Amino acid sequence: MLDIKFLRENPEIVKENIKKKFQDQKLPLVDEVIELDLKLREAKSKGDELRADRNRISKEIGMYMAKKQLEDAENAKATVKKLNDELVELEAKEVEYEAELKKRMMVIPNIIGPNVPIGKDDSENVELERFGEPVVPDFEIPYHVDIMESFNGIDLDSARKTSGNGFYYLRGDIARLHSAILSYARDFMIDRGFTYYVPPFMIRSDVVTGVMSFTEMENMMYKIEGEDLYLIGTSEHSMIGKFIDTLIDEDELPQALTSYSPCFRKEVGAHGIEERGVYRIHQFEKQEMVVVCKPEDSDVWYDKLWNNTVDFFRSLDIPVRTLECCSGDLADLKVKSLDVEAWSPRQQKYFEVGSCSNLGDAQARRLGIRVRGKDGKYFAHTLNNTVVAPPRMLIAFLENNLQADGRVRIPEPLRMYMGGKEFLSK
């Protein structure tokens, strides 16, 4: 959510930003906010005048009573009652103006970074850099489910019976590999100075609306019927929510956290749920990075976060590339975002395995995450990034480590989590 003072003073900048995000339907909101803001400030100013008059006249009542000026006292009481009635009506208008103002401010997008490429959708994202040499072996790479089934490692049919499409059972060495990757990711981030967390897997609605846009919420979140609780789509939601309505001393920043959680997503939209496969599913597990920092440090942390993901995948011999997300592909709260994509030898192209985002002070402003600095209080900046999210990452891992004889090589960092195995054998 933008600073109302910034919007008030820079309406044309806000409108131009909306155009860059190809959301022209939101342009009228800027003028509506300015009008509501003016009405709200006028109402508050008038309310302050009425309260001052009421307090002054209330004091006069006691003076009139002491002097036995009963008629003057009664007139003063009538005036106070009239002022009270006006205040009740005015305060109701203030509440109405504030609600309407917030409703519009919550859907006006954050100001994107100056270097964000302008484009309508993810097809216009810009490749930045490649890490590792993409290899296409001289033998055929099967579909990832076929590789898993060759190790008797996945059961989609049973999951379809218990839960429907978008769910799976992993078993045996494939299930162990799944857990090994998460354990390695946890230790990888701890070794880089991040504090490890296992957060709540459900959050309240005020946290949901604080961490994401309404569109994201509708397309992603599962609501717990009859309760003010939602299943998290990523542990970022709980981890940023942890700081709701807090005042952090400046010397306690930055806070660099890494968290494990299951993730639950409706996956409403163009992509849909796969009938057969584990690329886009309703339930998965993830290791996440979250940073709360001073505004002047957020760009440095942004680069640190995505580099962590690149280093993690490269440590497992998986080639990756980075893509700068264009303006139209950015969620409304994001200042900028970068996707990490892994190489798929079977498809001979890259696919997304993680996303790094700098949200500026948007989440902090919605959730009330402030910092106590030497020169006063200000809103923190928040960032998040995926370390790894199996089972999607398993697709890249299995394809890039598959051998001609059907075995799967276990890179050295994972072997301690796999009982010392160097290969998965059928």
Specify if 13 maps to a domain. Answer: yes
Domain count for the chain, please give it.
2
Beta strands in 29-97 (DSSP E): none
So what's the pLDDT on residue 291? 98
Whether the per-residue pLDDT at 270 is higher than 60: the answer is no
So what's the pLDDT on residue 186? 98
147 and 69 in a common domain: no
Backbone angles phi, psi at 421, to 5 degrees: -65, 140
Query: Which residues sit opposite 203 in a β-bridge?
Result: 230
CA distances from 306 to 17, 73, 262, 301, 383 (A): 25, 72, 21, 9, 11
Specify if 396 maps to a domain. Answer: yes
386-426, pLDDT tens digit by residue?
A: 999 998 899 999 999 999 999 999 999 999 999 999 999 98
Q: Which residues are catalytic?
A: 265, 280, 352, 355, 392
Question: Both tokens of residue 206?
Answer: 């005020």
State the CATH number of the domain containing residue 61: 1.10.287.40
247 and 126 in a common domain: yes
198 and 49 in a common domain: no
403 and 261 in a common domain: yes
Positive or negative torsion for Cα 90, 92, 98, 104: negative
153 and 62 in a common domain: no
pLDDT over 70 for what percent of the chain?
A: 98
Find the DSSP H helices in 192-326: 205-211, 214-220, 235-241, 298-315
So what's the pLDDT on residue 274? 60
Judge contact between 76 and 60, C-beta under 8 A.
Answer: yes
163 and 282 in a common domain: yes
Backbone angles phi, psi at 294, to 5 degrees: -75, 150
193 and 46 in a common domain: no
Quote the domain boundaries for residue 404.
122-424
- Arithmetic mean of pLDDT, 335-349: 97
149 and 90 in a common domain: no
So what's the pLDDT on residue 268? 61
Specify if 112 maps to a domain. Answer: no
138 and 89 in a common domain: no
Question: Both tokens of residue 60?
Answer: 């006069």
Judge contact between 313 and 397, C-beta under 8 A.
Answer: no
380 and 332 in a common domain: yes
62 and 191 in a common domain: no
Specify if 362 maps to a domain. Answer: yes
Between CA 340 and CA 222 the distance in angstroms is 26
134 and 66 in a common domain: no
Query: Which residues sit opposite 129 in a β-bridge?
Result: 322
Between CA 391 and CA 182 the distance in angstroms is 10
- Arithmetic mean of pLDDT, 218-245: 94
Between CA 326 and CA 309 the distance in angstroms is 20
Question: Both tokens of residue 32?
Answer: 């509506």
